[in-house]
Copies of this chain bind each other. A is one copy, B any other.
């Protein structure tokens, strides 16, 4: 991290702090201090605090797009498993990005609307492709299937900050993921309750 320049360090620091304490809960002095640079640099590179957020938004949205579109190249329940596994790997690599995504979604950032739409579009396409391949059960409400997939993608992210306390480990811990993957696979093909 030390070899990063001021601009990149500000992005890192901003992403982490916005994720943890929210946009309006974080001051520019705090960001600059964590990045180890002076406050003025925010203005130099991003114009303002809001400009910094926009840049962070852009980068995180790009990561999510990449993540989802790579996983949904597969089909059926296999694609869902890929999505979960890719998400785990991503979270291990860029945990701050996930928590930022979560916070941003809750704060109704300019970028968060775009992010949600992108997520919905990806899931809609996924459902559509699977229907064409005959992998969808008959009579399924396709729009709700897409919404359902978005919710189940975001769910663990929403619970993540409470996960250590409630379950003793991260929602993206290998063991947790294995159980989640098994459960989701089962639910999506057979359900879990008797009718």
CA distance A107 to B190 in the complex (A): 35
Binary CB contact string for chain A from 76 to 104 against chain B (1 if under 8 A, 0 otherwise): 11000000000000000000000000110
- Check: A150 CB closer than 8 A to any chain B CB: yes
Q: Which residues of B contact A189 (CB under 8 A)?
A: 191, 193-195
Q: Within 8 Å CB of A150, what residues of B?
A: 159
Q: Does A169 contact B (CB under 8 A)?
A: no
By the criterion CB–CB under 8 Å, are B187 and A191 in contact?
A: yes
- Contact of A132 with B by CB under 8 A: no
Given A24-B22, A148-B183, A186-B140, are A193 and B155 neighbors across the interface (CB < 8 Å)? no
A selection of 19 A-B contacts at a CB cut-off of 8 Å is A22-B106, A22-B107, A76-B194, A106-B158, A108-B161, A113-B162, A113-B165, A116-B159, A116-B162, A117-B166, A130-B193, A136-B192, A136-B193, A137-B191, A144-B183, A151-B159, A189-B193, A190-B190, A190-B191
